[in-house]
């Protein structure tokens, strides 16, 4: 499904396919891959993305999509919870 972004008077329509990169912020040439990387490195709000990458700091047309991408990426990368399995030791059964 095409995603439309309007920036500085122009309209770009790009299709997102697996493995390809889509430009989210045309004004600052910022891709969805760069946004995902910034999120993985700790950007956890649109304000952080604006500060770290400059996304949605010019015309603002990409703000909604950047926010949607942020929410989806954060939801997909829920923190892993480490589980440690411990066995109860009753006594040593090994004889050396």
Cβ partners under 8 Å of residue 58, min gap 6 = 7, 8, 25, 27, 28
List strand residue ranges (DSSP E) for 1-96, in order.
3-7, 10-14, 23-25, 30-31
Residue 90 half-sphere exposure toward CB, CA atoms < 13 A:
1
Q: Structural domains in the chain?
A: 3-76 (1.10.10.1100)
Cβ partners under 8 Å of residue 79, min gap 6 = none
- Please compute the mean of the pLDDT values over residues 7-19 and round it to a whole number: 47
What are residue 87's phi and psi, to 5 degrees? Answer: -100, 140
Q: What percent of the chain has pLDDT over 90?
A: 54
Q: What is the pLDDT of residues 21-50, one digit of tens each?
A: 899 999 999 999 999 999 999 999 999 999
Confidence category of residue 3, pLDDT binned at 50, 70, 90: very low
Q: What is the pLDDT of residues 53-94, one digit of tens each?
A: 999 999 999 999 999 999 999 998 766 555 666 666 666 555
């Amino acid at each position: 499904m095409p995603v439309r972004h309007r920036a500085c008077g122009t309209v770009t329509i790009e299709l997102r396919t697996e493995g390809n990169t889509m430009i989210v912020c045309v004004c600052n040439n910022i891709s969805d891959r760069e946004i995902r990387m910034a999120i993985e490195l700790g950007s956890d709000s649109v304000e952080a993305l604006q500060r770290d990458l400059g996304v949605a700091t010019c015309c603002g047309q990409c703000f909604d999509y950047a926010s949607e991408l942020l929410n989806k990426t954060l939801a997909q990368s829920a923190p892993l919870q480490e589980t440690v399995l411990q066995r109860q030791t009753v006594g040593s059964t090994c004889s050396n």
